[in-house]
């Protein structure tokens, strides 16, 4: 019992670290954990290591909107938060924007409790059909997303296809950690360079939060409940794309509701990925994939994972709020351009060390594509073609 409690606390701490530091993802920590697995298993039970990874993954989904909103350094799951979040930041409401994503993440934990029993009953009989139709589902979703682009459908298609070619080349390359330079360039360094070029000055921030009527949570809750379970089966479809689909299903939603939706989908997709692993032995997230390599999930272990999710989520909610308030009080004193430059140097250094020259080349190309997307004025979600198109090709029956 003490080992499990320690694993939850350490996992939550690790998830806080990965969430705050751009470019350091839970997948990296999970990979390091797996590399030391033989050593760790001499001291800990498999469930202890599994609990650590699950807690870390959930904590990360609460924390990772902070750098996305305050510094414009998102990952693939928080990319869409840059626009509404950064807009509120420039109006002095950065903390309130983070708080909206936290409310969404908290909402997802409530939905998780409701969805899991339904999921366990319905998934086994329908999963074989979903697996056979996987490629066609992803193609239809891609067409749907492109058709909903308001600025330029042509540019959306071009960006989506170019990202797909880049993804195919990167994922089939011999480099270590190919996703790190790919996703960093598409979503991280491109945003940072854009922010540096605009010489953005952050105004003094308020530490108050928005008070929303309960009815404002209905649309995000419905969208999350409908879309997240589907996305748990569809590899290559990130939380940002799920949020777009969810917002289209429920009709027009406000900027604040969209941030709630992003937070709730981000956490629920991660949470359900562990249930999906238990039911189908298939992995949807890096954390679930790491867990699958440690031990097969039994009903007892799934119960422990779900309890770890609840505890980690509770701790992370309050931790993220405290950290966000700290940034809100002090960020206007910082040199934003210098901070963005230092983060960019940090990300580049990590990629140079982990992925070498090929990784640096991938970073440059993906950054240029990310900047093209920004200047074309289309949604950043189309850059996820880098993962969607390779996944579609993998699942095509011919």
pLDDT at position 24: 67
Residue 200 has a pLDDT of 66
Model confidence at 252: pLDDT above 80 = no
Does residue 356 sit in helix, strand or coil?
A: helix
Q: Which pLDDT does position 57 carry in this prediction? A: 95
pTM above 0.85, yes or no: no
Say how far apart CA 264 and CA 220 lie, in whole Å: 8
The average confidence (pLDDT) of the chain is 86
| Angle, CA of 68, 224 and 228, to the nearest 5° | 90
Is pLDDT at 86 greater than 80 in this prediction?
no
Terminal Cα distance for the chain, rounded: 50
Give the range of the structural domain holding residue 60, as residue numbers without chain letter.
2-395
Q: Are 28 and 287 in contact (CB under 8 A)?
A: no
| Dist CA 373 CA 189 (whole Å) | 13
| Per-residue confidence (pLDDT) for residue 132, from 0 to 100 | 86
Asked whether the predicted pLDDT for residue 334 surpasses 70, the reply is: yes
Cα separation, 160 vs 298, whole angstroms: 39
- Number of domains forming the structure of the chain: 1
Confirm if 350 and 81 have CB atoms less than 8 A apart.
no
Label residue 23 by pLDDT band (50, 70, 90): low
| pLDDT band with cut points at 50, 70 and 90 for residue 111 | very high
- Containing 141, the helix (H) or strand (E) segment is helix 134-147
Instruction: List pLDDT tens digits, range 282-297.
Output: 877 878 888 999 988 9
pLDDT at residue 104 in the model? 92
Phi/psi at 22 (nearest 5 deg)? Answer: -60, 135
Residue 210: helix, strand or coil by DSSP?
A: coil
Per-residue model confidence (pLDDT) at position 82: 53
Q: Would you state the pLDDT for residue 49?
A: 93
Greatest CA separation found in the chain?
Answer: 57
Mean pLDDT of 90-117: 91
Grade residue 72 by pLDDT with cuts at 50, 70 and 90. low
Q: What is the DSSP code string of 276-333?
A: HHHHHS---SHHHHHHHTT----HHHHHHHHHHHHHHHHHHHHHHHHHHHHHHHHGGG
Point out the least confidently predicted range of 9-23, 92-106, 117-131, 175-189. Answer: 175-189
What would the mean pLDDT of 343-365 be, rounded to a whole number? 89
Mean pLDDT of 45-55: 95
Q: How does residue 75 score in pLDDT terms, banded at 50, 70 and 90?
A: low
* Helix 239-250 and helix 134-147, axial crossing angle in degrees, nearest 10: 70
C-alpha distances (whole Å) from 214 to each of 27, 202, 244 are 35, 31, 22
**Of 20 and 238, which is predicted with more confidence?**
20
| pLDDT greater than 80 at residue 319 | yes
């Amino acid at each position: 019992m003490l080992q499990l409690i320690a694993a939850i606390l350490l996992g939550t701490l690790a998830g806080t670290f990965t969430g705050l530091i751009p470019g350091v993802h839970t997948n990296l920590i999970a990979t390091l954990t797996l590399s030391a697995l033989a050593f760790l298993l001499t001291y800990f039970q498999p469930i202890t290591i599994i609990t650590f990874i699950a807690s870390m993954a959930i904590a990360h989904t609460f924390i990772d909107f902070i750098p996305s909103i305050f510094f414009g350094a998102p990952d693939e799951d928080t990319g869409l938060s840059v626009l509404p979040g950064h807009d509120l930041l420039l109006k002095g409401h950065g903390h309130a924007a983070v708080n909206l994503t936290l409310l969404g993440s908290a909402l997802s934990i409530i939905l998780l409790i409701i969805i899991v029993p339904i999921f366990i009953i319905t998934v086994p009989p329908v999963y074989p059909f979903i697996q056979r139709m996987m490629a066609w589902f992803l193609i239809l979703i891609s067409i749907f997303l492109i058709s909903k682009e308001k600025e330029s459908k042509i540019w959306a298609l071009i960006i989506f296809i170019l990202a797909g070619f880049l993804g195919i080349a990167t994922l089939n390359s011999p480099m270590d950690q190919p996703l790190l330079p790919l996703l960093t360039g598409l979503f991280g360094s491109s945003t940072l360079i854009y922010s540096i070029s605009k010489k953005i000055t952050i105004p003094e921030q308020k530490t108050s939060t928005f008070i929303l009527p309960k009815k404002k949570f209905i649309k995000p809750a419905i969208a999350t409940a409908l879309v997240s379970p589907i996305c748990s089966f569809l590899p290559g479809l990130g939380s940002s794309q799920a949020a777009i689909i969810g917002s289209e299903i429920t009709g027009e939603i406000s900027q604040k509701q969209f941030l709630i939706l992003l937070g709730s989908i981000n956490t629920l997709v991660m949470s359900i990925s562990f249930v999906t692993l238990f039911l189908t032995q298939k992995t949807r997230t890096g954390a679930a994939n790491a867990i699958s390599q440690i031990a097969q999930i039994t009903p007892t272990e799934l119960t422990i994972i779900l309890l770890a999710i609840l505890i980690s989520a509770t701790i992370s909610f309050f931790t993220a709020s405290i950290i966000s308030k700290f940034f809100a009080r002090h960020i206007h004193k910082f040199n934003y351009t210098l901070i963005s430059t230092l983060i960019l140097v940090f990300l580049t250094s990590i990629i140079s060390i982990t992925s070498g020259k090929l990784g640096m080349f991938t970073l440059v190309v993906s950054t240029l594509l990310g900047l093209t997307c920004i200047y074309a004025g289309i949604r950043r979600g189309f850059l996820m073609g880098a993962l969607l198109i390779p996944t579609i090709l993998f699942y095509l029956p011919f």
